[in-house]
Structure 1
Amino acid sequence: MPTSGRGRPEVGNPWNNRPPRPPGAQDRRRPPRAQDERPAREQASRDDRIASAARSELRLYGLNAVHAVFSRRPEAIRKVYLTESRIPALKPLLAWCVKQRVGYRVVEEGDLDRLAASTHHEGVVADVLKVEPLLMGDWLRALPEGKPVAALWLDGVGNPHNFGAILRSAAHFGVAGILLPRESTLAISGAAARVAEGGAEQVPLVRMGQADNAAAQLRNAGFSLAATVVRGGDDLFAAKLPPRLVYVMGAEGEGMDARLAEACDLRLSIPGSGAVESLNVAAATAVFLAQWKQRL
Protein backbone atom coordinates (compact mmCIF):
# COMPACT_ATOMS: atom_id res chain seq x y z
CA MET A 1 0.00 0.00 0.00
CA PRO A 2 1.36 3.44 -0.84
CA THR A 3 2.47 5.56 2.07
CA SER A 4 2.33 9.28 2.78
CA GLY A 5 5.37 11.41 3.41
CA ARG A 6 5.04 10.66 7.09
CA GLY A 7 5.21 6.91 6.55
CA ARG A 8 1.51 6.21 7.18
CA PRO A 9 -0.65 4.44 4.59
CA GLU A 10 -2.99 6.66 2.59
CA VAL A 11 -6.45 5.19 2.52
CA GLY A 12 -9.01 5.83 -0.18
CA ASN A 13 -6.87 8.13 -2.35
CA PRO A 14 -7.57 7.13 -5.96
CA TRP A 15 -4.71 9.25 -7.32
CA ASN A 16 -2.22 7.00 -5.64
CA ASN A 17 -3.66 3.96 -7.43
CA ARG A 18 -3.03 5.41 -10.90
CA PRO A 19 0.07 4.45 -12.87
CA PRO A 20 2.89 6.99 -12.68
CA ARG A 21 2.79 9.78 -15.26
CA PRO A 22 5.45 9.88 -17.96
CA PRO A 23 8.17 12.50 -17.46
CA GLY A 24 6.95 15.95 -18.54
CA ALA A 25 3.27 14.97 -18.62
CA GLN A 26 0.83 17.63 -17.39
CA ASP A 27 -1.53 17.06 -14.47
CA ARG A 28 -4.97 16.98 -16.09
CA ARG A 29 -6.90 17.30 -12.88
CA ARG A 30 -9.50 20.06 -13.32
CA PRO A 31 -9.55 23.02 -10.99
CA PRO A 32 -12.75 23.58 -8.97
CA ARG A 33 -15.56 24.61 -11.26
CA ALA A 34 -16.45 28.28 -11.51
CA GLN A 35 -20.03 27.41 -10.59
CA ASP A 36 -18.79 26.65 -7.06
CA GLU A 37 -18.48 30.45 -6.63
CA ARG A 38 -21.86 31.20 -8.20
CA PRO A 39 -23.96 31.16 -5.00
CA ALA A 40 -21.67 33.77 -3.41
CA ARG A 41 -21.84 35.97 -6.53
CA GLU A 42 -25.61 35.63 -6.74
CA GLN A 43 -25.97 36.55 -3.07
CA ALA A 44 -23.73 39.59 -3.57
CA SER A 45 -25.84 40.61 -6.56
CA ARG A 46 -29.03 40.28 -4.51
CA ASP A 47 -27.47 42.33 -1.72
CA ASP A 48 -26.50 45.04 -4.23
CA ARG A 49 -30.05 45.16 -5.61
CA ILE A 50 -31.52 45.41 -2.12
CA ALA A 51 -29.07 48.18 -1.17
CA SER A 52 -29.84 50.06 -4.40
CA ALA A 53 -33.58 49.83 -3.73
CA ALA A 54 -33.05 51.10 -0.18
CA ARG A 55 -31.24 54.14 -1.56
CA SER A 56 -33.86 54.90 -4.19
CA GLU A 57 -37.03 54.09 -2.24
CA LEU A 58 -38.80 55.71 0.68
CA ARG A 59 -41.27 54.11 3.07
CA LEU A 60 -44.24 56.44 3.52
CA TYR A 61 -47.11 56.08 5.92
CA GLY A 62 -50.28 58.02 6.64
CA LEU A 63 -53.42 58.26 4.54
CA ASN A 64 -52.88 61.75 3.12
CA ALA A 65 -49.19 61.12 2.39
CA VAL A 66 -50.01 58.00 0.37
CA HIS A 67 -52.98 59.66 -1.36
CA ALA A 68 -50.72 62.55 -2.40
CA VAL A 69 -48.18 60.23 -4.04
CA PHE A 70 -50.94 58.34 -5.84
CA SER A 71 -52.43 61.62 -7.07
CA ARG A 72 -49.21 63.19 -8.37
CA ARG A 73 -46.89 60.33 -9.34
CA PRO A 74 -48.55 56.92 -9.11
CA GLU A 75 -45.76 55.35 -11.17
CA ALA A 76 -43.48 55.85 -8.13
CA ILE A 77 -45.44 53.36 -6.00
CA ARG A 78 -43.66 50.03 -5.55
CA LYS A 79 -45.58 48.22 -2.77
CA VAL A 80 -48.60 48.95 -0.56
CA TYR A 81 -49.49 47.50 2.84
CA LEU A 82 -52.84 48.25 4.46
CA THR A 83 -55.29 47.06 7.07
CA GLU A 84 -58.62 45.60 6.02
CA SER A 85 -60.45 48.63 7.42
CA ARG A 86 -58.64 50.89 4.92
CA ILE A 87 -59.75 49.00 1.81
CA PRO A 88 -62.82 51.28 1.16
CA ALA A 89 -60.72 54.47 1.42
CA LEU A 90 -58.02 53.07 -0.87
CA LYS A 91 -60.13 51.34 -3.54
CA PRO A 92 -58.88 53.51 -6.46
CA LEU A 93 -55.26 52.91 -5.43
CA LEU A 94 -55.81 49.16 -5.07
CA ALA A 95 -57.54 48.97 -8.45
CA TRP A 96 -54.57 50.78 -9.99
CA CYS A 97 -52.19 48.35 -8.27
CA VAL A 98 -54.04 45.39 -9.78
CA LYS A 99 -54.02 46.95 -13.24
CA GLN A 100 -50.32 47.85 -13.07
CA ARG A 101 -49.31 44.64 -11.30
CA VAL A 102 -48.01 46.51 -8.28
CA GLY A 103 -48.08 44.34 -5.18
CA TYR A 104 -50.25 45.10 -2.18
CA ARG A 105 -50.94 43.17 1.01
CA VAL A 106 -53.68 43.34 3.61
CA VAL A 107 -51.96 42.99 6.99
CA GLU A 108 -52.63 43.40 10.69
CA GLU A 109 -52.22 46.63 12.62
CA GLY A 110 -49.12 45.31 14.38
CA ASP A 111 -47.49 44.51 11.05
CA LEU A 112 -47.90 48.14 9.99
CA ASP A 113 -46.48 49.29 13.32
CA ARG A 114 -43.31 47.35 12.50
CA LEU A 115 -43.18 48.35 8.84
CA ALA A 116 -43.55 52.05 9.63
CA ALA A 117 -41.60 51.91 12.90
CA SER A 118 -44.47 54.05 14.16
CA THR A 119 -48.03 53.69 15.40
CA HIS A 120 -49.07 56.80 13.43
CA HIS A 121 -49.43 55.03 10.07
CA GLU A 122 -53.23 55.49 9.87
CA GLY A 123 -53.65 52.02 8.42
CA VAL A 124 -51.47 52.29 5.31
CA VAL A 125 -47.78 52.06 4.40
CA ALA A 126 -46.28 52.39 0.92
CA ASP A 127 -42.81 51.95 -0.54
CA VAL A 128 -42.28 54.64 -3.20
CA LEU A 129 -39.44 56.01 -5.28
CA LYS A 130 -37.69 59.04 -3.85
CA VAL A 131 -37.62 62.39 -5.64
CA GLU A 132 -34.14 63.90 -5.87
CA PRO A 133 -33.77 67.63 -5.11
CA LEU A 134 -33.63 70.00 -8.07
CA LEU A 135 -30.52 71.96 -8.90
CA MET A 136 -30.75 75.67 -8.16
CA GLY A 137 -30.32 76.76 -11.78
CA ASP A 138 -33.01 74.38 -13.05
CA TRP A 139 -35.43 75.54 -10.36
CA LEU A 140 -34.87 79.23 -11.08
CA ARG A 141 -35.41 78.76 -14.82
CA ALA A 142 -38.74 77.05 -14.18
CA LEU A 143 -40.20 79.85 -12.02
CA PRO A 144 -43.03 81.91 -13.50
CA GLU A 145 -41.93 85.35 -14.64
CA GLY A 146 -43.54 88.49 -13.29
CA LYS A 147 -45.37 86.75 -10.42
CA PRO A 148 -44.78 86.97 -6.65
CA VAL A 149 -42.76 84.00 -5.40
CA ALA A 150 -41.78 82.89 -1.91
CA ALA A 151 -39.18 80.28 -0.99
CA LEU A 152 -37.73 78.94 2.25
CA TRP A 153 -34.01 78.57 2.91
CA LEU A 154 -33.62 76.05 5.78
CA ASP A 155 -30.38 76.72 7.63
CA GLY A 156 -29.74 73.71 9.88
CA VAL A 157 -33.33 72.55 10.40
CA GLY A 158 -33.12 68.84 11.21
CA ASN A 159 -36.15 67.63 13.17
CA PRO A 160 -38.35 65.56 10.81
CA HIS A 161 -41.58 66.61 12.51
CA ASN A 162 -40.68 70.29 12.22
CA PHE A 163 -39.67 69.68 8.62
CA GLY A 164 -43.02 68.01 7.94
CA ALA A 165 -44.91 70.90 9.51
CA ILE A 166 -42.87 73.37 7.42
CA LEU A 167 -43.73 71.42 4.26
CA ARG A 168 -47.41 71.49 5.19
CA SER A 169 -47.38 75.27 5.69
CA ALA A 170 -45.31 75.74 2.52
CA ALA A 171 -47.86 73.80 0.48
CA HIS A 172 -50.75 75.69 2.06
CA PHE A 173 -49.32 79.10 1.22
CA GLY A 174 -48.01 78.16 -2.23
CA VAL A 175 -44.27 78.29 -1.58
CA ALA A 176 -42.25 77.67 -4.74
CA GLY A 177 -39.44 75.67 -3.16
CA ILE A 178 -37.53 74.57 -0.08
CA LEU A 179 -33.86 75.53 -0.48
CA LEU A 180 -31.34 73.18 1.13
CA PRO A 181 -27.69 74.08 1.76
CA ARG A 182 -25.10 71.96 -0.04
CA GLU A 183 -24.04 70.20 3.18
CA SER A 184 -27.57 69.66 4.52
CA THR A 185 -28.64 66.06 5.17
CA LEU A 186 -32.29 67.03 5.43
CA ALA A 187 -34.52 64.82 3.28
CA ILE A 188 -38.09 63.62 3.08
CA SER A 189 -38.68 60.80 5.57
CA GLY A 190 -41.75 58.78 6.44
CA ALA A 191 -42.28 60.88 9.57
CA ALA A 192 -41.87 64.19 7.72
CA ALA A 193 -44.23 63.12 4.94
CA ARG A 194 -46.91 62.03 7.40
CA VAL A 195 -46.78 65.32 9.31
CA ALA A 196 -46.83 67.23 6.00
CA GLU A 197 -50.23 65.64 5.21
CA GLY A 198 -49.51 65.56 1.47
CA GLY A 199 -47.41 68.72 1.39
CA ALA A 200 -44.23 66.75 0.72
CA GLU A 201 -45.51 66.06 -2.81
CA GLN A 202 -46.42 69.69 -3.49
CA VAL A 203 -43.26 71.66 -2.72
CA PRO A 204 -39.99 70.86 -4.54
CA LEU A 205 -36.70 70.55 -2.68
CA VAL A 206 -33.82 72.50 -4.21
CA ARG A 207 -30.13 71.77 -3.60
CA MET A 208 -27.98 74.90 -3.43
CA GLY A 209 -24.26 75.28 -3.96
CA GLN A 210 -22.04 77.49 -1.81
CA ALA A 211 -24.07 79.93 0.26
CA ASP A 212 -22.62 83.10 -1.29
CA ASN A 213 -23.11 81.78 -4.82
CA ALA A 214 -26.66 80.72 -4.01
CA ALA A 215 -27.46 84.15 -2.60
CA ALA A 216 -26.08 85.81 -5.73
CA GLN A 217 -28.16 83.53 -7.98
CA LEU A 218 -31.29 84.35 -6.02
CA ARG A 219 -30.69 88.09 -6.14
CA ASN A 220 -30.02 87.93 -9.88
CA ALA A 221 -33.43 86.30 -10.20
CA GLY A 222 -35.07 89.20 -8.35
CA PHE A 223 -35.29 87.71 -4.86
CA SER A 224 -34.60 89.47 -1.57
CA LEU A 225 -33.29 87.40 1.34
CA ALA A 226 -34.88 87.90 4.76
CA ALA A 227 -33.16 86.61 7.90
CA THR A 228 -35.76 85.49 10.45
CA VAL A 229 -34.39 86.32 13.90
CA VAL A 230 -35.85 86.01 17.38
CA ARG A 231 -35.00 89.57 18.34
CA GLY A 232 -33.41 92.66 16.82
CA GLY A 233 -35.20 92.46 13.50
CA ASP A 234 -37.83 94.70 11.97
CA ASP A 235 -41.42 94.04 13.03
CA LEU A 236 -42.78 91.49 10.55
CA PHE A 237 -46.26 93.00 10.71
CA ALA A 238 -45.05 96.50 9.88
CA ALA A 239 -42.30 95.69 7.36
CA LYS A 240 -42.76 96.05 3.62
CA LEU A 241 -42.23 92.65 2.06
CA PRO A 242 -40.93 92.30 -1.52
CA PRO A 243 -42.94 90.17 -3.97
CA ARG A 244 -40.01 87.81 -4.52
CA LEU A 245 -38.82 86.76 -1.10
CA VAL A 246 -36.69 84.03 0.45
CA TYR A 247 -37.20 83.55 4.18
CA VAL A 248 -34.04 82.13 5.76
CA MET A 249 -35.15 79.96 8.69
CA GLY A 250 -32.65 79.00 11.40
CA ALA A 251 -32.10 75.70 13.15
CA GLU A 252 -34.12 74.58 16.15
CA GLY A 253 -32.45 75.91 19.29
CA GLU A 254 -29.30 77.46 17.78
CA GLY A 255 -31.03 79.80 15.36
CA MET A 256 -29.51 80.72 12.03
CA ASP A 257 -25.85 81.25 11.24
CA ALA A 258 -24.82 84.79 12.22
CA ARG A 259 -22.78 85.34 9.04
CA LEU A 260 -25.69 84.26 6.90
CA ALA A 261 -28.03 86.59 8.78
CA GLU A 262 -25.64 89.50 8.19
CA ALA A 263 -25.53 88.75 4.47
CA CYS A 264 -29.34 88.94 4.10
CA ASP A 265 -31.17 92.00 2.77
CA LEU A 266 -33.75 92.10 5.58
CA ARG A 267 -33.90 91.06 9.24
CA LEU A 268 -37.38 90.25 10.46
CA SER A 269 -38.78 89.28 13.87
CA ILE A 270 -42.23 88.21 15.03
CA PRO A 271 -43.34 90.47 17.89
CA GLY A 272 -45.02 88.72 20.81
CA SER A 273 -46.03 89.06 24.44
CA GLY A 274 -42.65 87.98 25.80
CA ALA A 275 -44.28 85.21 27.83
CA VAL A 276 -42.15 82.71 25.89
CA GLU A 277 -38.81 83.26 24.21
CA SER A 278 -39.97 82.47 20.70
CA LEU A 279 -42.02 80.22 18.47
CA ASN A 280 -40.47 77.01 17.20
CA VAL A 281 -39.25 77.03 13.63
CA ALA A 282 -42.34 75.31 12.18
CA ALA A 283 -44.80 77.66 13.88
CA ALA A 284 -42.69 80.70 13.00
CA THR A 285 -42.56 79.62 9.35
CA ALA A 286 -46.36 79.55 9.19
CA VAL A 287 -46.56 83.09 10.60
CA PHE A 288 -43.94 84.46 8.19
CA LEU A 289 -45.63 82.84 5.19
CA ALA A 290 -49.08 84.03 6.21
CA GLN A 291 -47.83 87.60 6.42
CA TRP A 292 -46.19 87.38 2.99
CA LYS A 293 -49.40 85.99 1.52
CA GLN A 294 -51.48 88.72 3.15
CA ARG A 295 -49.29 91.43 1.62
CA LEU A 296 -49.71 90.24 -1.98
Structure 2
Amino acid sequence: MGNPWDRGPRPPRKGPPRREEVRLYGLNAVQAVFERRPQAIRKLYLLQSRVHALRPLLAWCVQNRVGYRVVEAEDLDRLAASSHHEGVVADVLRTAPLALDDWLAALAPGAPALALWLDGVGNPHNFGAILRSAAHFGAAVLLPERSTLALSGAAARVAEGGAEAVPLVRLPDNDAALARLHGAGFASAATVVRDGEDLFALQPPARLVYVMGAEGEGMDPGLAGACMHRVSIPGTGAVESLNVAAATAVFLAHWAATRC
Protein backbone atom coordinates (compact mmCIF):
# COMPACT_ATOMS: atom_id res chain seq x y z
CA MET A 1 0.00 0.00 0.00
CA GLY A 2 1.55 3.31 -1.04
CA ASN A 3 2.06 6.09 1.47
CA PRO A 4 1.96 9.65 0.07
CA TRP A 5 3.72 11.10 3.08
CA ASP A 6 6.33 8.51 4.03
CA ARG A 7 9.29 9.66 1.94
CA GLY A 8 12.24 8.36 3.93
CA PRO A 9 13.56 7.95 7.44
CA ARG A 10 12.55 11.35 8.83
CA PRO A 11 11.70 11.10 12.55
CA PRO A 12 8.08 11.87 13.43
CA ARG A 13 7.36 15.36 14.64
CA LYS A 14 7.69 15.53 18.42
CA GLY A 15 6.17 18.95 19.00
CA PRO A 16 2.48 19.70 19.53
CA PRO A 17 0.14 20.04 16.55
CA ARG A 18 -0.91 23.43 15.28
CA ARG A 19 -3.51 25.29 17.35
CA GLU A 20 -6.41 24.40 15.04
CA GLU A 21 -5.50 20.73 15.38
CA VAL A 22 -5.72 18.34 18.30
CA ARG A 23 -3.56 15.27 18.73
CA LEU A 24 -5.74 12.25 19.49
CA TYR A 25 -4.65 8.80 20.50
CA GLY A 26 -6.35 5.52 21.27
CA LEU A 27 -7.88 3.09 18.80
CA ASN A 28 -11.55 3.94 19.40
CA ALA A 29 -10.90 7.68 19.47
CA VAL A 30 -9.13 7.65 16.11
CA GLN A 31 -11.60 5.21 14.52
CA ALA A 32 -14.51 7.45 15.60
CA VAL A 33 -12.99 10.42 13.78
CA PHE A 34 -12.49 8.29 10.67
CA GLU A 35 -16.10 7.10 10.75
CA ARG A 36 -17.68 10.52 11.34
CA ARG A 37 -15.37 13.10 9.73
CA PRO A 38 -12.42 11.51 7.94
CA GLN A 39 -11.63 14.79 6.17
CA ALA A 40 -10.50 16.15 9.56
CA ILE A 41 -7.55 13.75 9.72
CA ARG A 42 -4.28 15.48 8.89
CA LYS A 43 -1.55 13.00 9.91
CA LEU A 44 -1.46 9.49 11.28
CA TYR A 45 1.19 7.53 13.19
CA LEU A 46 0.78 3.85 14.07
CA LEU A 47 2.55 0.70 15.14
CA GLN A 48 3.10 -2.12 12.65
CA SER A 49 0.82 -4.26 14.81
CA ARG A 50 -2.08 -1.86 14.09
CA VAL A 51 -1.77 -1.92 10.29
CA HIS A 52 -4.33 -4.70 9.82
CA ALA A 53 -6.93 -3.19 12.16
CA LEU A 54 -6.55 0.24 10.53
CA ARG A 55 -6.34 -0.93 6.92
CA PRO A 56 -9.53 0.92 5.78
CA LEU A 57 -8.19 4.14 7.34
CA LEU A 58 -4.80 3.67 5.69
CA ALA A 59 -6.45 3.06 2.31
CA TRP A 60 -8.42 6.29 2.77
CA CYS A 61 -5.20 8.14 3.62
CA VAL A 62 -3.58 6.87 0.40
CA GLN A 63 -6.59 7.85 -1.72
CA ASN A 64 -6.73 11.32 -0.18
CA ARG A 65 -2.98 11.94 0.10
CA VAL A 66 -3.03 12.16 3.89
CA GLY A 67 0.34 11.19 5.34
CA TYR A 68 0.80 8.26 7.68
CA ARG A 69 3.86 6.64 9.18
CA VAL A 70 4.55 3.30 10.83
CA VAL A 71 6.73 4.04 13.86
CA GLU A 72 8.05 2.42 17.02
CA ALA A 73 6.27 2.41 20.38
CA GLU A 74 8.68 4.94 21.89
CA ASP A 75 7.89 7.36 19.05
CA LEU A 76 4.19 7.12 19.85
CA ASP A 77 4.94 7.58 23.55
CA ARG A 78 6.62 10.89 22.71
CA LEU A 79 3.96 12.01 20.24
CA ALA A 80 1.09 11.30 22.62
CA ALA A 81 3.03 12.25 25.76
CA SER A 82 1.50 9.05 27.09
CA SER A 83 2.03 5.32 26.92
CA HIS A 84 -1.74 4.77 26.68
CA HIS A 85 -1.97 5.43 22.93
CA GLU A 86 -3.02 1.87 22.01
CA GLY A 87 -0.76 1.91 18.99
CA VAL A 88 -2.15 4.88 17.07
CA VAL A 89 -1.89 8.69 17.14
CA ALA A 90 -3.58 11.16 14.80
CA ASP A 91 -3.50 14.91 14.29
CA VAL A 92 -7.02 16.03 13.43
CA LEU A 93 -8.79 19.32 12.92
CA ARG A 94 -10.51 20.54 16.05
CA THR A 95 -14.28 21.01 15.90
CA ALA A 96 -15.36 24.41 17.19
CA PRO A 97 -18.19 24.37 19.76
CA LEU A 98 -21.64 25.37 18.56
CA ALA A 99 -23.22 28.62 19.68
CA LEU A 100 -26.07 28.06 22.12
CA ASP A 101 -28.66 29.63 19.81
CA ASP A 102 -27.56 27.40 16.93
CA TRP A 103 -27.81 24.27 19.06
CA LEU A 104 -31.26 25.23 20.33
CA ALA A 105 -32.49 26.03 16.82
CA ALA A 106 -31.41 22.57 15.61
CA LEU A 107 -33.51 20.72 18.20
CA ALA A 108 -36.77 19.21 16.97
CA PRO A 109 -39.66 21.32 18.31
CA GLY A 110 -40.89 19.91 21.60
CA ALA A 111 -38.58 16.88 21.47
CA PRO A 112 -36.95 15.65 24.70
CA ALA A 113 -33.40 16.88 25.13
CA LEU A 114 -30.72 16.51 27.76
CA ALA A 115 -27.62 18.58 28.42
CA LEU A 116 -24.77 18.87 30.90
CA TRP A 117 -23.51 22.30 31.93
CA LEU A 118 -19.91 21.82 33.13
CA ASP A 119 -19.15 24.61 35.57
CA GLY A 120 -15.44 24.47 36.35
CA VAL A 121 -14.81 20.84 35.44
CA GLY A 122 -11.21 20.73 34.26
CA ASN A 123 -9.66 17.29 34.72
CA PRO A 124 -9.28 15.77 31.21
CA HIS A 125 -9.92 12.23 32.41
CA ASN A 126 -13.15 13.30 34.10
CA PHE A 127 -14.07 15.23 30.97
CA GLY A 128 -13.46 12.15 28.85
CA ALA A 129 -15.58 9.97 31.14
CA ILE A 130 -18.36 12.57 31.02
CA LEU A 131 -18.21 12.62 27.22
CA ARG A 132 -18.46 8.84 27.14
CA SER A 133 -21.59 8.90 29.34
CA ALA A 134 -23.05 11.81 27.37
CA ALA A 135 -22.60 9.88 24.13
CA HIS A 136 -24.24 6.79 25.64
CA PHE A 137 -27.31 8.69 26.84
CA GLY A 138 -27.54 11.26 24.06
CA ALA A 139 -26.70 14.41 25.99
CA ALA A 140 -25.03 17.60 24.81
CA VAL A 141 -22.23 19.25 26.81
CA LEU A 142 -22.47 22.98 27.53
CA LEU A 143 -19.28 24.93 28.17
CA PRO A 144 -19.41 28.25 30.07
CA GLU A 145 -18.31 31.43 28.37
CA ARG A 146 -14.93 31.59 30.15
CA SER A 147 -14.25 27.86 30.32
CA THR A 148 -10.92 26.76 28.87
CA LEU A 149 -12.07 23.14 28.74
CA ALA A 150 -11.46 21.62 25.32
CA LEU A 151 -11.04 18.17 23.86
CA SER A 152 -7.56 16.77 24.44
CA GLY A 153 -5.91 13.50 23.54
CA ALA A 154 -6.36 12.21 27.08
CA ALA A 155 -10.05 13.13 27.18
CA ALA A 156 -10.73 11.59 23.77
CA ARG A 157 -9.03 8.33 24.72
CA VAL A 158 -11.05 8.02 27.94
CA ALA A 159 -14.22 8.84 25.97
CA GLU A 160 -13.53 5.76 23.78
CA GLY A 161 -14.93 7.39 20.64
CA GLY A 162 -17.78 9.14 22.43
CA ALA A 163 -16.30 12.60 21.95
CA GLU A 164 -17.23 12.54 18.25
CA ALA A 165 -20.90 11.89 19.08
CA VAL A 166 -21.45 14.66 21.64
CA PRO A 167 -22.38 18.23 20.65
CA LEU A 168 -20.17 20.74 22.45
CA VAL A 169 -21.97 24.05 22.95
CA ARG A 170 -20.41 27.39 23.97
CA LEU A 171 -22.59 29.41 26.35
CA PRO A 172 -22.93 33.16 26.72
CA ASP A 173 -22.80 34.58 30.26
CA ASN A 174 -24.66 32.61 32.92
CA ASP A 175 -27.76 34.80 33.12
CA ALA A 176 -28.24 34.94 29.35
CA ALA A 177 -27.60 31.21 28.97
CA LEU A 178 -30.14 30.26 31.64
CA ALA A 179 -32.72 32.63 30.17
CA ARG A 180 -32.35 31.13 26.70
CA LEU A 181 -32.44 27.57 27.99
CA HIS A 182 -35.50 28.22 30.12
CA GLY A 183 -37.14 29.98 27.20
CA ALA A 184 -36.56 26.87 25.07
CA GLY A 185 -38.41 24.72 27.60
CA PHE A 186 -35.44 23.40 29.57
CA ALA A 187 -35.56 23.00 33.32
CA SER A 188 -32.25 23.57 35.11
CA ALA A 189 -31.01 21.45 37.98
CA ALA A 190 -27.94 22.24 40.07
CA THR A 191 -26.36 18.99 41.23
CA VAL A 192 -25.25 19.29 44.85
CA VAL A 193 -23.62 16.88 47.28
CA ARG A 194 -26.14 17.43 50.06
CA ASP A 195 -29.43 19.16 50.93
CA GLY A 196 -30.84 18.79 47.44
CA GLU A 197 -34.02 17.05 46.37
CA ASP A 198 -33.68 13.26 46.22
CA LEU A 199 -32.90 12.50 42.58
CA PHE A 200 -34.72 9.17 42.66
CA ALA A 201 -37.90 10.71 44.05
CA LEU A 202 -38.19 13.10 41.13
CA GLN A 203 -39.72 12.73 37.68
CA PRO A 204 -37.34 14.78 35.53
CA PRO A 205 -38.84 16.89 32.74
CA ALA A 206 -38.43 16.02 29.07
CA ARG A 207 -36.00 18.89 28.59
CA LEU A 208 -33.39 19.20 31.29
CA VAL A 209 -29.96 20.71 31.92
CA TYR A 210 -27.91 19.28 34.76
CA VAL A 211 -25.33 21.75 36.06
CA MET A 212 -22.24 19.86 37.24
CA GLY A 213 -19.75 21.58 39.53
CA ALA A 214 -15.95 21.51 39.56
CA GLU A 215 -14.16 18.50 41.00
CA GLY A 216 -12.89 20.33 44.07
CA GLU A 217 -14.61 23.67 44.53
CA GLY A 218 -18.10 22.78 43.37
CA MET A 219 -20.19 25.05 41.21
CA ASP A 220 -20.58 28.80 41.35
CA PRO A 221 -23.07 29.58 44.17
CA GLY A 222 -24.79 32.24 42.10
CA LEU A 223 -25.34 29.80 39.25
CA ALA A 224 -26.63 27.13 41.64
CA GLY A 225 -29.05 29.62 43.14
CA ALA A 226 -30.38 30.63 39.73
CA CYS A 227 -31.29 27.05 38.76
CA MET A 228 -34.87 25.85 39.10
CA HIS A 229 -33.90 22.80 41.17
CA ARG A 230 -31.13 21.50 43.41
CA VAL A 231 -30.78 17.72 43.29
CA SER A 232 -28.62 15.21 45.13
CA ILE A 233 -27.85 11.51 44.74
CA PRO A 234 -28.80 9.69 47.97
CA GLY A 235 -26.30 7.20 49.31
CA THR A 236 -25.07 5.41 52.40
CA GLY A 237 -22.89 8.27 53.61
CA ALA A 238 -19.86 5.97 53.67
CA VAL A 239 -18.16 8.42 51.28
CA GLU A 240 -18.73 12.14 51.03
CA SER A 241 -19.74 12.13 47.38
CA LEU A 242 -19.27 10.58 43.98
CA ASN A 243 -16.61 11.69 41.55
CA VAL A 244 -18.10 14.20 39.09
CA ALA A 245 -17.86 11.74 36.19
CA ALA A 246 -19.52 8.94 38.16
CA ALA A 247 -22.24 11.29 39.39
CA THR A 248 -22.87 12.46 35.84
CA ALA A 249 -23.54 8.89 34.71
CA VAL A 250 -26.09 8.45 37.52
CA PHE A 251 -27.93 11.68 36.66
CA LEU A 252 -28.03 10.86 32.95
CA ALA A 253 -29.19 7.29 33.54
CA HIS A 254 -32.03 8.45 35.77
CA TRP A 255 -33.29 10.88 33.11
CA ALA A 256 -33.03 8.22 30.40
CA ALA A 257 -34.91 5.66 32.51
CA THR A 258 -37.87 8.00 32.85
CA ARG A 259 -38.14 8.35 29.07
CA CYS A 260 -38.70 4.60 28.58
TM-score normalised according to structure 2 size: 0.93
Q: Which amino acid aligns with 2:35?
A: S
Distance between the aligned counterparts of 2:130 and 2:144, measured in 1? 16
Q: Does 1:238 align with 2:237?
A: no
Q: Which is greater in Rg?
A: 1
Aligned AA (2:104): L
C-alpha deviation, 1:247, in angstroms:
0.2
Aligned equivalent of 1:286: 249
Match of 1:209 among 172, 182, 201: 172
In structure 2, the partner of 1:77 is 41
Higher relative contact order (CA 8 A, sep 6+): 2
Gaps of 5+ in 1: 1-50
Aligned to 2:82: 118
One-letter amino acid of the structure 2 residue matched with residue 265 of structure 1: M
Q: Superposed, which structure 2 residues align to 1:104-143 within 5 Å?
A: 104-143=68-107
1:199 aligns with 2:162: yes
Gaps of 5+ in 2: 1-14
The reply to whether residue 174 of structure 1 matches residue 138 of structure 2 is: yes
**Does 1:145 pair with 2:84?**
no
Please state how far the C-alpha of 1:66 moved relative to its aligned partner: 0.1
Amino acid of the residue matched to residue 147 of structure 2? S
Coordinate RMSD, CA, aligned: 1.2
Report the Cα offset of residue 146 of structure 1. 2.1
Q: Distance in 2 between matches of 1:132 and 1:187?
A: 9
Residue 221 of structure 1 pairs with residue 184 of structure 2: yes
For 2:7, the equivalent position in structure 1 comes to none
Matched, 1:275 2:228: no
Rounded Cα–Cα distance in structure 2 between residues aligned with 1:103 and 1:184: 33
Query: Which runs of structure 1 show a deviation greater than 6 angstroms over 4 or more consecutive aligned residues?
Result: none
Find the aligned partners of 2:198 and 2:94 in 1 and give their Cα distance: 39
Distance 1:91 1:187 in 2: 30
Q: Which residue matches 1:264?
A: 227
Match for residue 3 of structure 2?
none
1:59 is aligned to 2:28: no
Q: For 1:248 and 1:156, locate their aligned partners in 2 and report how far apart those are by CA, in whole Å.
A: 10
After superposition, the C-alpha distances for 1:160-207 in whole angstroms (9 at most, x for unaligned) are 0000000000000011x2111100000000000000001110001111
